[in-house]
A and B are shown apart, each in its own frame.
Chain A
Amino acid sequence: MYAKVADWLADGNVVGWFQGRMEFGPRALGNRSILGDPRNPDMQNKLNLKIKYRESFRPFAPSVLAEDAHEYFEVKSDSPYMLLVQEVRKSHRKELPKNYHKLPLREKLAFERSEFPAITHIDFSARIQTVHPETNERYWELLNAFKEKTGVGMVVNTSFNVRGEPIVCTPEDAYRCFMNTEMDYLVIGDFVFRKSAQGEWEKKLTFEKD
């Protein structure tokens, strides 16, 4: 299954990932998460506008294999809870145009700043989650499968919810969120739902401003 999900991610699909116990605290850490390919230049926009229905300026965070974090980021320690921001390494960055800081906000955002545009913020920073096999085995396995497929042990991780809604709790919440958004796949435990294979669904999305 991990290899399959990794394939879908690498093909540009957005996957809802629901596994085991839920997180405590504001960040989704790979048990109630929506995932995408960090290399994909359209991913940031797709996640903001078609999945989470939130403001387009907001950045997304990477989940990275703990043992590979130093290859991509200037990390000084583990960051299992996504509570430390550090910079993307220079070797993965792209050169900015000279007038970058003078560009309108939208154009700044649209400029590809690194090999991982979906998780590199305007100032090259990233809100890192390091993923450890001993504490989140399934999530680590998925990242590892994605690395085997793409060479990159990292995914975009955003909380499993739409704007103004708490993170999903039950499988029912997850399915509802999946059907109400343009998410492509939903994985609950070992069960996989493909959007195109689902029946009729009347989208009811009454999210509140947050």
Chain B
Amino acid sequence: MTILGISAFYHDSAACIIRDGEIIAAAQEERFTRKKHDESFPVQATQFCLDAAGVTLDELEVIAFYDKPLLKFERLLETYLSFAPRGVKSFFTAMPVWLKEKMFMKREMYEALKRVGEYDREKVKFLFPEHHLSHAASAFYPSPFEESAILTIDGVGEWATASICSGKGTDITIHRELKFPHSLGLLYSAFTYYLGFRVNSGEYKLMGLAPYGDPNSPLLKEYIEKIKTELVEIRDDGSIYLNQDYFDYATGLKMVREKKWEDLFGFPKREEENELQQHEADLALAIQKVTEEIVVKMAKDAKDLTNSENLCLAGGVALNCVANGVIQNEGIFEEIYIQPAAGDAGGAVGAALAAHYLYFEKQRLPQKPDSMKRGLPGT
């Protein structure tokens, strides 16, 4: 049984093909189109995967899509309704894109697939596992664990921005979810933006900047304090509440309300090419420390809910390898497995594996060290 997984239209489009549960090939569209974080339908990556498996579209059992389009649309609508009328301007800007590509994603997919090759629409089954289920599947199924806690954290997929699940054999059970607009990924992205880096790609730079912060400076303490009193409430179980007075992503076209941030931290948003200053490095360290505190609390909650010795991680925040190291050092779990393509590209793998194990309920034999071919299933 051959299944194609596809992640598209968000960022980092990708395709993955599995046969009888084994990953035959996976690739990101950007590598072929030479456009970084390419979000267009992964025509070339799909073709590459089909070639690697020696099949045509008609011979596929299922095409599994990472996401659930209507949930996204619902989020968009509900956000605008609950924040109206502030969001009217961006509503009109965002709407055509959503209408065209996301609302009618199925139709979009049928059309885009024709660019890969001719196929009979009656023959191929389409499945749409939920966003965080795809992430959870991408971390758990390739892992060497028979059972495990699964923590997924990212910006936002549908309503859920983070989830705690448990995996056992072929099953994944969702225990808790954190809901939009409260999101650790978006909080980190907001700081990425404020410190002059690009959202969705500059998070890595923010993490690299953080160690330049002075760990003993009173300024660092002050920033951490301000973040935790004004921007984000951290509860004992790791769930968070973001004060929407400071953010603009839910209704506007920007990440943050710059004036309010400037009043809070005492300096303006950094412009992209300006030389970095010490206080900016201190703020980077502050949000990194707060992020670590939150993920450790989430990991502890995952431990409480599952009582497992193992942890699987996925979602964009799982690319924060500094925070991953902190989770490891806390010793909450014996073993940790992290999906190498933890961001949206890995969703293609997760969607395909979710179809195989959850929809078709196929048997699973965990392999050591994992079933990701050490991250080298590409061309």
Residues of A within 8 A of B (CB): 20-27, 29, 31, 55, 57-59, 76-78, 80-86, 101-102, 104-105, 108-109, 121-123, 125, 127, 132, 135-136, 164-170, 173, 208-210
The answer on a CB contact under 8 Å between B343 and A26 is yes
Interface centre among A22, A29, A76 (most CB of B within 10 A): A22
B73 to chain A: which residues have CB within 8 Å?
none
B35 to chain A: which residues have CB within 8 Å?
166
The answer on a CB contact under 8 Å between B376 and A85 is no
Q: How far is the CA of A132 from the CA of B376 in the complex (A)?
A: 13
Residues of B within 8 A of A (CB): 14, 16, 26-28, 30-32, 34-36, 38, 198, 201-202, 205, 208-209, 211-212, 214-217, 272, 276-278, 281, 318-319, 321-322, 324-325, 328-329, 335-336, 338-343, 345-346, 349, 369, 372-379
Closest to B14 in A: A24
The answer on a CB contact under 8 Å between A136 and B376 is yes
The answer on a CB contact under 8 Å between A122 and B375 is no
Closest to A123 in B: B211
The answer on a CB contact under 8 Å between B340 and A25 is yes
Q: How far is the CA of A127 from the CA of B207 in the complex (A)?
A: 11
Closest to A20 in B: B376
Q: A76-B329, A80-B369, A208-B36 are in contact. Are A24 and B374 (CB under 8 A)?
A: no
Task: Find A166's partner among B31, B215, B341, B369 (CB 8 Å cutoff).
Answer: B31
The answer on a CB contact under 8 Å between A173 and B214 is no
Task: Find A25's partner among B272, B335, B341, B369 (CB 8 Å cutoff).
Answer: B341
**A-B pairs with CB below 8 Å: how many?**
147
The answer on a CB contact under 8 Å between A22 and B31 is yes
The answer on a CB contact under 8 Å between B205 and A58 is yes
Task: Find A76's partner among B198, B328, B340, B341 (CB 8 Å cutoff).
Answer: B328
The answer on a CB contact under 8 Å between B28 and A24 is yes
User: Would you give the shortest CB distance from B134 to chain A, in whole angstroms?
Assistant: 15
The answer on a CB contact under 8 Å between A135 and B31 is no
The answer on a CB contact under 8 Å between A57 and B343 is no
User: Would you give the shortest CB distance from B243 to chain A, in whole angstroms?
Assistant: 30
The answer on a CB contact under 8 Å between B276 and A57 is yes
B277 to chain A: which residues have CB within 8 Å?
105
Q: A24-B375, A81-B375, A210-B202 are in contact. Are A122 and B212 (CB under 8 A)?
A: yes
The answer on a CB contact under 8 Å between B324 and A101 is no
Q: How far is the CA of A82 from the CA of B324 in the complex (A)?
A: 11
Closest to A164 in B: B36
Task: Find B338's partner among A58, A81, A104, A166 (CB 8 Å cutoff).
Answer: A81
The answer on a CB contact under 8 Å between B212 and A25 is no
The answer on a CB contact under 8 Å between A25 and B27 is no
Name 24 interchain pairs, CB-CB below 8 A, sorted by A: A20-B376, A22-B31, A23-B376, A24-B375, A24-B376, A25-B340, A25-B343, A25-B346, A25-B375, A26-B319, A29-B340, A29-B375, A55-B205, A58-B205, A77-B336, A80-B374, A81-B338, A101-B214, A121-B208, A122-B212, A127-B321, A135-B369, A135-B373, A210-B202
* A57-B212, A208-B36 known, 11 other contacts, Cβ within 8 Å: A21-B379, A22-B379, A24-B28, A25-B343, A26-B341, A83-B338, A101-B214, A108-B212, A123-B211, A127-B321, A210-B201
Task: Find A83's partner among B34, B340, B373 (CB 8 Å cutoff).
Answer: B340
Q: How far is the CA of A165 from the CA of B30 in the complex (A)?
A: 9
Q: How far is the CA of A26 from the CA of B277 in the complex (A)?
A: 28
A83 to chain B: which residues have CB within 8 Å?
318-319, 321, 324, 338, 340, 342
The answer on a CB contact under 8 Å between B276 and A84 is no
Q: How far is the CA of A136 from the CA of B377 in the complex (A)?
A: 12
The answer on a CB contact under 8 Å between A29 and B374 is yes
B211 to chain A: which residues have CB within 8 Å?
59, 121-123, 125
The answer on a CB contact under 8 Å between B374 and A21 is no
Q: How far is the CA of A156 from the CA of B379 in the complex (A)?
A: 23
User: Would you give the shortest CB distance from B334 to chain A, in whole angstroms?
Assistant: 10
Closest to B36 in A: A166
Task: Find B378's partner among A21, A109, A125, A165 (CB 8 Å cutoff).
Answer: A21
Q: How far is the CA of A109 from the CA of B211 in the complex (A)?
A: 11
A125 to chain B: which residues have CB within 8 Å?
211, 322, 325
The answer on a CB contact under 8 Å between B328 and A84 is yes
